[in-house]
Amino acid sequence: QTFIPEIRTSSADLTMFLKKPPNISFAFFLTHLSLCHGLQSPKRHSPYSTVDTERYSSLVKSAMSRVSSQTPLTILEEDDHIYGPVLKSPPPTTLTRGEVRTPKVLHPFLHPQEITEEEAETGGPPARIHLNRGQGRSAIPSVTRILQQTMSTEQMFYLERWKRRMVQELGEEGFKEYSQNLFKQGKTFHSVLEETLTSGVKWTDRDPFEMSQYPPEVCGYMKSVSHVLDDVREVHAIESTVQHNTLNYLGIVDCVARYRGVLCVIDWKTSEKPKPFLSNTYDNPIQVAAYAGALNTDANYKYQVENGLIVVAYKDGSPAHAHQLNFELMLDYWKTWLLRLEDYFEKRYKKCYKNVFINML
């Protein structure tokens, strides 16, 4: 880049110039002033000379390294470090500063009238109400679908960028295979969990040959949750459909059982990265609250559930993290769920009206 010196003149300089004979060129005068100014001005230091290179060395290595973490969580931390926190887009409803958005209709989380006794005990096997997935199936949206379609712009950005990075590393087919393997592992893990909970036989007491028939990742997940299973009793439901007829949504709850004496909706999750805090579980607490709220209104279940539990299992066998959701937390996440539900149906109706309008043209 070309350096252009700054030229400053005073009234005295201009007066001197006007008194000079006409044969002195204006260019010569400007050159003279520039040289004088350069001699008198102190040397300017580059702002880059004061940068603490030692402080930012780890950042440079992280940005330039070809071996980087591939999960959205670490990407988010990396962006926060480089660019600062993301400015979140405002919610659909415009709010003034300090105002908190609340559901338009605060539907109750509990429905005590559904209880036939103080708590109806399940004398037989756990409930297992299957979802109709064939022709003529219900058009009622699922909890998973609603949460996916109402994700924040920030969540969608990081999820999409993580996917692009994985595709760059594994290729389209490689990423597809990776996703399918994760799905299969999760499905097998849930099946083994189900068998363990219903049989009453601990995973650690199983025949070693039988255990060896499962993929090593699934064995790792089961080892990871074994200490949590020791505290699970009185299984009420497993992989059972719950439906909220008033709010028009449904879902499949992983498990309803007592954990350390407290009746909970339990959600089993797998992760390649540690999730020691509830905040690391993203929308999972909202999902659990949605399931519990639906179960509490569903006539197929003669009891109420006030608490939740999210168990994050790891394939390396390290102890799973169990995140308990007490009644107060469940109520908070229930309100958040009601807002997401409002957003979903608002989007859906807008799209429906738009299609009707286009068809009328």
Q: Point out the residues that are catalytic.
A: 254, 267, 269
**What's the first-to-final CA gap in the chain, in angstroms?**
58
What's the token pair of residue 233?
Answer: 């009793």
Contact 341, 146 (CB under 8 A): yes
From CA 142, how far away is CA 139, in angstroms rounded?
9
Contact 218, 188 (CB under 8 A): yes
3-state secondary structure the chain: CCCCCCCCCCHHHHHHHHHCCCCCCHHHHHHHHHHHHHHHCCCCCCHHHHCCCCCCHHHHHHHHCCCCCCCHHHHHHHHHHHHCCCCCCCCCCCCCCCCCCCCCCCCCCCCHHHCCCCCCCCCCCCECCCCCCCCCCCCCCEHHHHHHHCCCHHHHHHHHHHHHHHHHHHHHHHHHHHHHHHHHHHHHHHHHHHHHHHHCCCHHHCCHHHHHCCCHHHHHHHHHHHHHHCCEEEEEEEEEEEEECCCCEEEEEEEEEEECCEEEEEEEEEECCCCCCHHHHCCHHHHHHHHHHHHCCCCCCCCCCCEEEEEEEECCCCCCEEEEECHHHHHHHHHHHHHHHHHHHHHHHHHHHHHHHHHHC
From CA 320, how far away is CA 310, in angstroms rounded?
10
